[in-house]
Amino acid sequence: MSQKLNEFKKYLKEMNQYSRVSTLLSWDMYTLTPKAGFQGMADALTYFSTKQFLMSTSDELMELLEALSAPEEFDQLDETMQFTVSRMKRDMEKNRRIPADFFEAFSQEKSASQQAWEEAKRSSDFSVFAPHLEKLIAMTIQQCEYTDPGKEVYDVLLDQFEEGMDSATIDQLFEELKKGLLPLLNKILAAPQPDSSILAGHYPASEQKKVQALLLDYIGFSMDAGAVGESAHPFTSGFSRNDVRITNHYYENNPISAMFSAIHEGGHGIFAQNVNPAFEGTAADDCMYMGIHESQSRFFENILGRNKNFWLPIYDKVQALLPDLAQVSPDDFWREINHVQNSLIRTEADEVTYCFHIILRYEMEQAIFRDHVPVNELPALWNRKMQEYLQITPANDADGILQDMHWSDASFGYFPSYLLGNIYDGMFLEEVEKELGPVDQLLADGRIQEITKWLNRNIHWYGSTRLPKEVIEKVCGREASAQPLLNYFTKKYTAIYQLVMD
């Protein structure tokens, strides 16, 4: 191994230690840190992530990356190292243009803003969050001007979460979906609805945790390399393929929320646990494209988890753990987990109306970064769009514009990933069925892990080495399209709601 490669690997290892500490701190902040201790943890996180940032932009690293990029060195590297060197060199060139004091100030503002958002949401008072949001928007624009001068800001943001999926492509996919979905949604909403009160009951958190363990094992999340914590909003945090943490939140009057959060976060976790082990500690590890990541969590959550046959092999065990479900037949349960209704909260929405929750947020972000709509006008704009797409107006901002945490840490451009994930899922479903046969049958036969292995083999294994468009091309042999998702919705909901199609 060349001297430079040795030095680079050593440097990378040290950077990874900082990154591990940052991940651990933020995991802790959202699971166990008491309110009074939050600021101390936030300061430590700023300290370590700034160190990590300085290491990722240092002269020493630049010198190493330049040496390894020279053709005689580069050609000797294996593919993983070639990917890592090119990727880090590109990112470094961008990040070196960000002044370190700006990076630190932005990092501090994100922590302050998250706290303000929590307070604003608790008191349903947008004015508490507004000055922070204004600052975050300005700093985000400033950061894009440093990293990608002259480029459209919102495209830079989208690219950070789903590289290569620009707004022209997303506009086209979302438009295709919207056009096909609105008439279907209207038919569903006009049909007789199931009676949600059948799920009324008491579901102790301790028993919900047992159901969660059952579900995670069933879909293929390994507890030898995984752990589950508790937080206000479920999330996944990966340290390496050998240590993937997910969180959940339990409502004792609602058994469904934690089940589907477990399946969703478990799907993210399965991805992280099944990346090629040779990628460990390199830029190829896990997957940095959030649309592709969300496609996996949402494949488990929706395509599999909301299929009646997913539940057939395990439903009696779930009922045994949650006795208040004893009176709910598999059929009634299935209707309830596919109950389509216009509602206020994205994370509680069914898979059909969910699409409109995302389209709304995508348009809001365009309003912020393209049309520069002032922050104080955003709540009213949100409410108008809710009325337009979901015929419902939030009574307060906590149930409206303040419901999601994404903007509180400046994750602008993340939301479209969820819907891109759904759109990819329609395409992946077609491919799974071509190769393995009907998913309905596989699930009924208790062969769900064959589907998990298919996803491991075709998607998870490659970590970050394939860009989103390449994943779609390699797995599906064509460009992204919303049509397969529309076909899936139409077939499924025509059956559930006994719709007459024209």
Instruction: Give the number of residues in contact with Zn ion, rule: CB under 5 A.
Output: 1
Strands 243-248 and 226-230: parallel
Residue whose CB is less far from Zn ion, 274 or 297: 297
Nearest to 292 by CA among 443, 166, 464: 464
Residue whose CB is less far from Zn ion, 8 or 418: 418
CA atoms of 382 and 34, how far apart (whole Å): 33
Residue whose CB is less far from Zn ion, 297 or 403: 297
Decide: 286 and 464 in contact? Cβ < 8 Å: yes
Nearest to 65 by CA among 55, 348, 242, 148: 55
Tokens describing residue 192: 């007789």
Q: Residue 164 to residues 10, 160, 456: CA-CA distances in angstroms?
A: 31, 9, 23
SS3 228: strand
Residue whose CB is less far from Zn ion, 135 or 293: 293
CA atoms of 152 and 287, how far apart (whole Å): 25
For tokens 């945790």, what's the residue? 209
| Interface of this chain with Zn ion, residues 410 to 449, rule: CB under 5 A | none
CA atoms of 219 and 450, how far apart (whole Å): 10
Of the listed 109, 162, 207, 265, which one is catalytic? 265
Q: Does 167 bind Zn ion (CB under 5 A)?
A: no
Decide: 48 and 18 in contact? Cβ < 8 Å: yes
| Interface of this chain with Zn ion, residues 282 to 301, rule: CB under 5 A | 297
Active site residue 265: yes
Tokens describing residue 20: 């591990």
Q: How far is CA 295 from the centre of its chain?
A: 8
Please give the full DSSP string across 93-151, using - where no structure is assigned: HHHTTS-HHHHHHHHHHHHHHHHHHHHHHHHT-HHHHHHHHHHHHHHHHHHHHHHSTTS
CA atoms of 40 and 49, how far apart (whole Å): 14
Q: Residue 95 to residues 52, 90, 103, 159: CA-CA distances in angstroms?
A: 12, 9, 10, 15
Residue whose CB is less far from Zn ion, 64 or 485: 485
Least distance to Zn ion, CB of residue 212, Å: 16
CA atoms of 11 and 9, how far apart (whole Å): 5
Q: Which residues are catalytic?
A: 265
- For binding to Zn ion (CB under 5 A), which residues are involved? 297
